[in-house]
Amino acid sequence: MQAARLHEYTDEMSEALQIEDVDQPEIDRSDGVIIDVEGAGWCQTDNHIIEGMWEAYAPQDLPMTLGHENAGVVTEVGEEVTLVEEGDPVICHPVQTCGICRPCRLGEDMYCENSAFNGLTTDGGFAEYLRTNERAVIPLPDGVDPTEIAPHADAGITAYHAAKKAVRELNPGDTCVLIGIGGLGHIGLQCVDAMSAADVVAVDIKDEALELAEELGARHTINSADEDLESVLGDLTDDEGAQQVLDFVGGDETTGMAPDIVAAGGDHHVIGYGGHIHEPCQALVNGEFSFKGTLVGKYAELQELVALVDRGDVELHTERYDLDEINTVAERLENREIEGRAVVLPP
């Protein structure tokens, strides 16, 4: 089969991955599942993996097939699998978990002590077929297109996970700010809007992104390239600030806004990454606000997100590319030229 493989870390996205013929994966354990991949989402994390940013955090044996946002149709299952059978359309949680370690017993899938992460620590779905396990697959409702829903396997669940945490702290009339209405942000906005009665404020530097935010339910939009975010938000909130901020950029500039835009006792959720947090401890003490990180999400949360998609509360804006265009996708995302999410189609 054909697969897009990373052989060495590089900052040059135009030559990042090589399309190669490799052996088709086979069932190697009783709970194994083989997926005929119909769509694999490209994520900013793929760019970061290519750059070597994850090497210190997750073991990677190169060459490796990337791709952690996968959906498709089951072609083969291990002898103990009962959840799905051949022919079932599924979306795949990116993490294959063991189910028996303490974090798994507590329902914290992302902390599994024996996990394999598709496209990060084991071969992923930028290929014709993907090997995963029963604990990672979620059957799709009738009428849900695996190709269209694929990016929800990471982008969607990550945005939903952050939104769910924020919504727990939001009361009707509170303000929730979302910074960066791109591939993740446009999903997070819909999740917050569907699950709360807060006033949603969308922030971006591109008018096209803000127009999309309005279409998706934002009550207010702010172009932070043209307007002073702190001042405009102060006018909207009587200088109280936002009870919850979802930062889908995660750059030095956006995390640096926290002391000035987060309300006392509120939270600044860091979802995008690549920058740093450089705030004096006194700023956190004075405002009693918190920075909170976001690492994908739980299996059950992906089920919940699929339910929102099936109800029509959350929709994806996607662009489709063939597998042999994969380095073009990497370049375009690096240059912020993709609106919404890119989905790679295997041959």
pLDDT in tens, 184-213: 999 999 999 999 999 999 999 999 999 999
Query: Does residue 115 carry a pLDDT above 90?
Result: yes
63 cis-preceded (ω within 30 degrees of 0): yes
Hunting for tokens 């071969």 — which residue is that? Answer: 123
Residues 292-316: what's their mean pLDDT?
A: 94
The CA-based angle 328-331-334, given to 5 degrees, is: 150
CATH number (3.40.640.10, 3.40.1130.10, 3.40.50.720, 1.10.10.10) of 159-293 reads 3.40.50.720
Residues 136-162: what's their mean pLDDT?
A: 95
Is the four-CA dihedral 154, 300, 303, 192 of positive or negative sign? negative
Q: Judge whether 2-154+296-345 and 159-293 match in fold.
A: no
pLDDT at res. 74: 98
Token output for 155: 């982008």
- Let me know: does 286 contact 280? Beta carbons within 8 Å: no
- Residue 233 CA from chain centroid, whole number: 27
Instruction: Report DSSP letters for 33-82, one per residue.
Output: EEEEEEEEEE-HHHHHHHHTTTTTTS---SSEE---EEEEEEEEE-TT--
The DSSP bridge pattern shows strands 69-77 and 32-42 to be antiparallel
Q: Cα(180)–Cα(246) distance, rounded to whole angstroms? A: 9
Residues 157-180: what's their mean pLDDT?
A: 97
With b for 16 or more beta-carbon neighbours within 10 A and e for fewer, the 103-121 pattern comes to: bbeeeebbbbeebbbbbbb
Q: Give the whole-number percent of the chain exceeding pLDDT 90.
A: 94
CA dihedral 299, 303, 305, 308 (to 10 degrees): -170
Confidence of residue 292 (pLDDT cuts 50, 70, 90): very high
pLDDT in tens, 209-223: 999 999 999 999 999
- Let me know: does 41 contact 345? Beta carbons within 8 Å: no
Which phi and psi angles does 197 have, rounded to 5°?
A: -110, 25
Query: Does residue 59 carry a pLDDT above 90?
Result: no
The conformation of residue 219, written as its DSSP 8-state character, comes to: S
Domain boundaries, the chain: 2-154+296-345, 159-293
Hunting for tokens 């912020």 — which residue is that? Answer: 336
Q: Cα(78)–Cα(123) distance, rounded to whole angstroms? A: 18
DSSP reduced 3-state for 209? helix
Q: Maximum Cα–Cα distance for the chain, whole Å? A: 62
pTM confidence score: 0.93
DSSP reduced 3-state for 292? strand
Query: Does residue 24 carry a pLDDT above 90?
Result: yes
pLDDT in tens, 223-239: 999 999 999 999 999 99
CATH code for the structural domain at 2-154+296-345: 3.90.180.10
Confidence of residue 2 (pLDDT cuts 50, 70, 90): very high
Mean pLDDT of the chain: 95
User: In Å, how far are 49, 129, 283, 289 from 97, measured between CA atoms?
Assistant: 21, 19, 39, 33
Query: Does residue 291 carry a pLDDT above 90?
Result: yes
Query: Does residue 338 carry a pLDDT above 90?
Result: no
Which phi and psi angles does 47 have, rounded to 5°?
A: -60, -40
pLDDT at res. 135: 97
Query: Does residue 336 carry a pLDDT above 90?
Result: no
Confidence of residue 317 (pLDDT cuts 50, 70, 90): confident
pLDDT at res. 340: 83
Query: Does residue 29 carry a pLDDT above 90?
Result: yes
pLDDT at res. 347: 85
